[in-house]
Structure 1
Amino acid sequence: MVSNPLSKQYWHEVRDGFSIVGYDGLVEKAVVDIPDPGSSHDLGQSSKDSGYKISTGSAIDSDSLHGNNVAFEYGENLNKDLDIRHLLTLAIGGSIGTGLFVNSGTSLNTGGPASLIIGWVIISSALFTVINALGELAATFPIVGGFNVYMTRFVDPSFAFAVNLNYLILWIVSLPLELVAASITIRYWNREINSDAWVTIFFVFIALLNMMDVKFFSEAEFVMSIIKILAIVGFFILGIVLAVGGGPTGGYIGGKYWNDPGAFHGDSAGSRFKGLCSVFVIAAFSYSGVEMTAVSAAESKNPRKTIPKATKRTFWVITFSYISILTLIGILVPYNDKRLLSGSSSVDASASPLVIAIENAGIKGLPSLMNAIILIALLSVANSCVYVCSRVMVSMALTNTLPKVFSKVDKRGRPLYSIFATLFVGLLSFIAASDKQEEVFTWLSAICGLSTIFCWIGINLAHIRFRAALKFQNRSLDELAYISQSGIWGSWYGVIILVLVLIASFWVSLFPVGESSADAEAFFEGYLSFPILIASYIGHKVYIKNWKWVIPLEEIDIDLGKKNTIWNG
């Protein structure tokens, strides 16, 4: 016997022969066929009130709401139009952007080429456990917003609120940041036109894409992601040619810059280790967006098949892209090249190590092409920002942590209120022409600087608690649509590595690279998101008056929202 979801706290009403059931805020409206025992009724398309598909093997009493063999398929009115290539390119679109094309130069400058590779490899190993944990959960529970609900149900509602609020802020702040970066990128060709004019063009373009059906949106993202992948492949081939001396200026480079100025930045072992620690947070930030496969799960055609494949392919495509390109960057650009710090801001493409490598080779025309690709990458990430924010807002509204209005979805499957709210914050991008824009975005970025790490820790903890609940309730792993390749111990490894990264980030934020004394401003720029996380957690605990650290294993519902799961009441 398995717990009946309808035995929880609910509301219901009978309408047109169907019982409409609300459950604990996680399920807003479920429709169950009452009149004819043994019948099945698919309401996924025919009911404007529900995106849920319920079939019954026996009658459900509209008064007692106790029934047998109820198959429950969770999913709001969001369209289920995404296949594997869409899920893959959405994740690529969200994660391959300024982190690889621009911010990697900052890491090269502070850590050196060896630190660059070591830092990204360590973060990649933690990411492998996260993506596998997420694949297992998302394939089993293809729910709107994904990991927000996983943390709420398997760990603790207050923890979920704090983590997801930080995650929402990360993406909602990234939208104006990417649009401003795109306007700065245009200066490579034209410095006379006001930056806000370009922001207007880009803002309207992104808004129009997100107002389309998810199918059209995902196709646009697919095209932009393909361009980025082709650019990465092209630079990889070019980088090898340049490294062996095949460029116009000639001369074998090889490991030249690993010897002079060196593999690590720093005069002592302590300073070199600090340089390595400074790489971790930038590496994690650059990978943010990989978890989008879970955000998109409720809009995929066949989550049990597409989610596992998409998560695994996403990890290998993105990890290979980063590690291969970063290795070549470390070979082609010395860490003490002043141009790595010459940008007007952290998103200025003129500081891109890829552009610098091509300029060093003396290849005319290619720097301009690479700049255009960076522009496309920025717009792709901005596009993903609106998508992620709107879906996370829907999920948080369904768990009663945002106003219910944000959960509303129109007939075309668009969460319009959530999209409009995200675009409204995007209007911050119109400070692009202001001389204060760098200062403003420095502090906006500080608010969410560690959000990706918090999110990944939360995903792994949700996986750990889910597996513990399965074991406690004597359930088999054979029930799962996909089993994590890294397993429960992999999730623990990921949590430990990411906690160590937070500790290293604390040290580097308080005592920045090149500084011997504490720097309060640098600390808050790098670690402000942590006190915000704690304040959000405590505030939510006080609001809901629940002082349990975690949800007891016996209270964890491991069935609600499971794809094609049968309940026996």
Structure 2
Amino acid sequence: MISAMDPPHHSEKGLGISGEKDVRSRASLERIGSTQVYHHDGTRRMLKSRHIQFIGIGGTIGTALYVQIGKSLINGGPGSLFIAFSFWCTFILAITMCMAEMVTYLPISSPFIRFAGRFVDEALGFAAGWNFFIFEAVLVPFEVTACNLVIHYWSDVIPTAAVIAIVLVLYALINVLTIKWYGETEFWAALGKVLLAVGLIIFTFIVMVGGNPQHDRFGFRYWHTPGAFAELYYEGSLGRWLGFLSCLIQAAFLIAGPDYVSMAAGEAENPRKTMPRAFNAVFYRLTAFFVLGALCVGILVPYDDPEMVAAFKTAEPGAAASPYVVAMNRLGIKVLPHIVNAMVLLSAFSAGNSYLYCASRSLYGLALENKAPHFLTHCTKDGVPIYCVGVVLGIGLLSFLQLSANTAVVLSWFVSLVTASQLLNFCVVCVTYLCFARALKAQGISRDSLPFKARFMPFCAWYGLSGAFIMMFVQGYTVFLPGFWDVPNFLFSYTMLGVFPALYIGWKLFHKTTFHKPLDVDLRKDLDVIDEYERNFVSQTPNGKFERVLDKLFG
């Protein structure tokens, strides 16, 4: 038996059929003060259950839930918005179930990226990893830009360059320090988002029944006037269908969660206990916030409200275009818009922080699998992949492009270039799960023996795959409508659908990889390390009464 204090040494056997060498695992247990710390591949397991749950929420709830959702309301109306968001959540549930079963079985760093290489084909792992990294990394400067816009809702006195520099320095400090500090920061920021979401839901109910300065009991008035379904591009049924489709596309880009939770698996404390709860909690909370949020904005504002339409056309900064702020202005409420804007600023900052974390961990996972330069595997003594964080912060410097109006447009195009990446990630997760389940069956491993057994499999995997795959091609449909053809929009919508197979085919041809047969899939790699950690794990008593209360409430 391997000692808990000594790193277990795996044999350097080939990965499936590709013949690539495994990265040697380094695992040990130690105590820092009263905290039990686990090392594996250079990282440390210091994220508690409450941290994991809120990381998923923090990465998904950004400015979109409070501001950009208004654009969907304009395009589709309250009925289309509510139905589309509710419908897409069923696909997110299916993808979450796939992710949960695999990640709880083998909770390692950058799991779904590395699983694609282990369970399907090394080339797929390469393409999936770089696709996810590019997607997350490019969103960092996007959220930095959002922070600047939100601050300018109040004043233009602070120079744009200063705002960008301050945000990037804060990101660097949070992510370079020990992972526990990142977890705490993200926990409190995400908690603020949750409180805002809950507060706005309560606000909606109060004002719709007459609790507003005008004492107007408007209820569901705007579902009748101007109506529940807006017409987009065309009149009649076709226009209403395109309005619904626009809302569904927006939902596909906004509602995520399981991928952000999974990226923290390698640094989660007691992962086989905390990860299933985290996956379930994040799905239900996100579903509640997005579905109820979609319902609320449709109640508060008519889809043809002049102020909201004008705000999106003129790209008003901050929360000026938020349906909630528009509703507050309509009702004569003066103070709350500033509170909403402050919380939108927190949301943008937190989302960028999560993107930096996920991008750096995905790059770290690629390096561990020899799909990125080996020096990127270096971690600090606190378990932070410092060079990976540095690379992503370097990409974050692209946010300085907004110092010029023209280059700011280029930045928005660059972000649009990778919008299909999220859906590609979901497809990879479902395909990987199907191969994982097939390998379990071929090797005589019962799914009943897994730490978490997903329901309705493999139906959920096929359902999630079909939805994500179809949406990849639908998301840029407007360019195919008569009179709407635009070459730049076509390229921005579909380029990643060409880049991804190019990455896959390039790696496959260069390294001559093949699909792993079910009997050849290595289901044991790193498993003994996780099992050893689980046997030696001792739950630690939280420091102080306050931390005990937090763990009890959110653990």
TM bucket by the smaller chain? Answer: 0.7 to 0.9
CA 1:83–1:347 in 2, change beyond 3 Å: closer, same or farther?
farther
Report the counterpart of residue 367 of structure 2 in structure 1: 397
Q: How does 1:169-208 map to 2 (within 5 A)?
A: 169-208=134-173
User: Post-superposition shift, 1:137?
Assistant: 0.8
Equivalence for 1:413: 383
Residues 1:540 and 2:507 aligned together = yes
5+ residue gaps, structure 2, are 1-8, 32-36, 534-555
Choose from 239, 245, 249 the match for 2:210.
245
* Contact 1:447 1:532 survives alignment (8 Å): no
AA matched with 2:506: G
Deviates more, 1:522-531 or 1:458-467: 522-531
Residues in 1 aligned to 2:443 and 2:365: alpha-carbon distance in whole angstroms = 27
Give the secondary structure class of the aligned counterpart of 1:233: helix
CA distance in 1: counterparts of 2:124 and 2:248, whole angstroms: 23
1:366-403 deviation digits (Å, cap 9, x = unpaired): 00110000000000011111111111011011112111
Q: CA deviation at 1:527?
A: 2.4
**How far does residue 77 in structure 1 lie from its aligned partner after superposition?**
1.8
Q: Which runs of 5+ in 1 are unaligned?
A: 11-22, 31-41, 47-51, 54-73
Count of paired positions: 510
Given that 2:318 and 2:341 are in contact with CA atoms closer than 8 Å, whether structure 1 keeps it comes out as no
Matched, 1:519 2:486: yes
Are 1:90 and 1:221, in contact at CA under 8 Å, matched by a contact in 2? Answer: yes
Task: Write the mapping of 1:463-478 to structure 2, written as runs, cut at 5 A.
Answer: 463-478=433-448
Q: Distance in 1 between matches of 2:363 and 2:508?
A: 20
Deviation at residue 516 of structure 1 after TM alignment: 4.2
CA contact (8 A) 1:134 1:459 kept: yes
Equivalent residue in structure 2 for 1:210, among 169, 175, 178: 175
Aligned AA for 2:326?
I
Q: For residue 226 of structure 1, what is the amino acid of its counterpart?
A: L
Residue in structure 2 matched with residue 333 of structure 1 by the alignment: 301
- Corresponding position of 2:268: 300
**Residue 355 of structure 2 is aligned to residue 385 of structure 1:** yes
- Residue type of the alignment partner of 1:215: K
Quick check: 1:278–1:508 contact (8 Å CA) kept in 2?
no
Is residue 2:403 matched to residue 1:433?
Answer: yes
Residue 83 (structure 1) aligned with residue 86 (structure 2): no
Task: Tell me by how many angstroms 1:268 deviates.
Answer: 1.9
1:274 and 1:508 in contact (8 A); partners too: no
- Between 1:133-142 and 1:190-199, the stretch displaced more is 190-199
1:470-505 deviation digits (Å, cap 9, x = unpaired) = 111122113211111342211111111222222322
What is the rounded CA distance, in whole Å, between the counterparts of 1:346 and 1:447 in structure 2?
23
In structure 1, what is the Cα distance between the partners aligned to 2:479 and 2:422?
A: 17
* Structure 1 counterpart of 2:283, one-letter code: F
The answer to whether structure 1 residue 271 and structure 2 residue 236 are counterparts is no
The alpha-carbon deviation at position 228 of structure 1 amounts to 0.9
| Structure 1 residues 504-555: Cα deviation after superposition (integer angstroms, max 9, x where no partner) | 22423533xxx64423232223223212222222222222233x4x322122
Give the number of the structure whose alpha-carbon radius of gyration is greater: 1
CA deviations 1:379-436 (Å, max 9, x no partner) are: 0011111111111011011112111111111211010000000101111111233212
State the distance in 1 between where 2:40 and 2:49 align.
18
Q: How far, CA to CA, are the matches of 1:300 and 1:510 in structure 2?
A: 45
| One of 115, 122, 136 as aligned partner of 2:80 | 115
Q: Separation in 1 of the partners of 2:153 and 2:139?
A: 22
Give the alignment's Cα RMSD to 1 decimal: 2.3
Task: Specify the alignment match of 2:341 in structure 1.
Answer: 371
Q: How much does 1:289 deviate? A: 4.2
User: Letter of the aligned partner of 1:342 in structure 2?
Assistant: A
Tell whether 2:462 aligns with 1:462: no
- What residue number does 1:19 align with? none
More helix by share: 2
Name 1:27's counterpart in structure 2. 23
Change over 3 Å in CA distance of 1:43–1:500 after alignment to 2: closer
1:342 aligns with 2:311: yes
Determine helix, strand or coil for the equivalent of 2:24. strand
The residue number in structure 2 matching 1:313 is 281
Deviates more, 1:138-147 or 1:241-250: 241-250
Q: Summarize deviations over 1:146-168 as a string: whole Å, max 9, x none.
A: 10111111122222222222211
Q: Does the aligned pair in 2 maintain the 1:103–1:282 contact within 8 Å?
A: no
Instruction: Tell which deviates more after alignment, 176-185 or 556-565.
Output: 556-565
Q: 1:565 to 1:43 in 2, by over 3 A?
A: closer
Question: How far apart, in 2, do the equivalents of 1:181 and 1:501 lie?
Answer: 26
How many angstroms does 1:287 deviate by? 2.2
- Normalised by the length of structure 2, the TM-score is 0.87
- Does structure 1 conserve the Cα–Cα contact (< 8 Å) formed by 2:478 and 2:484? no
Q: Would you say 1:234 and 2:199 are equivalent positions? A: yes
Q: C-alpha distance in 2, partners of 1:314/1:415?
A: 26
Name the aligned partner's letter for residue 8 of structure 1: K
Asked whether 1:6 is paired with 2:6, we answer no
* CA-to-aligned-CA distance 1:172-211 (integer Å, 9 cap, x gap): 1111110111111111110233222211121111111111
AA paired with 1:427?
A: L
- Aligned counterparts of 2:68 and 2:278: Cα–Cα separation in 1: 26
Letter in 1 for 2:76: G
> What is the Cα deviation at residue 25 of structure 1?
4.3
Whole-angstrom distance in 2 between the partners of 1:479 and 1:418: 36
Cα shift at 1:24: 4.1
1:223: Cα distance to partner?
A: 0.9
Q: Which moved more, 1:417-426 or 1:556-565?
A: 556-565
Separation in 2, partners of 1:168, 1:367: 35
- Contact in 2 for aligned 1:163/1:451 (Cα 8 Å): no
Would the aligned equivalents of 2:150 and 2:345 in 1 still touch at CA under 8 Å? yes
Q: CA shift at 1:141, angstroms?
A: 0.6
Task: State the AA in 2 paired with 1:200.
Answer: A
CA–CA distance in 1 between the matches of 2:199 and 2:135?
Answer: 31
Go from structure 1 to structure 2 and tell me whether the alpha carbon gap of 1:270 and 1:327 turns closer, same or farther (over 3 Å shift). same
Contact 1:136–1:483, Cα closer than 8 Å, also in 2: yes
Question: Quick one: which amino acid aligns to residue 490 of structure 1?
Answer: C
Q: Is the 8 A contact 1:510 1:520 kept in 2?
A: no
The aligned residue for residue 125 of structure 1 is 90
- Aligned in 2, Cα 1:216/1:96: closer, same or farther, shift over 3 Å? same
Residue identity matched to 1:285: F
Q: Which amino acid aligns with 2:289?
A: S
Contact 1:139 1:307 in 2 (8 A): yes
The 1:26/1:391 distance shift into structure 2, 3 A limit, reads farther
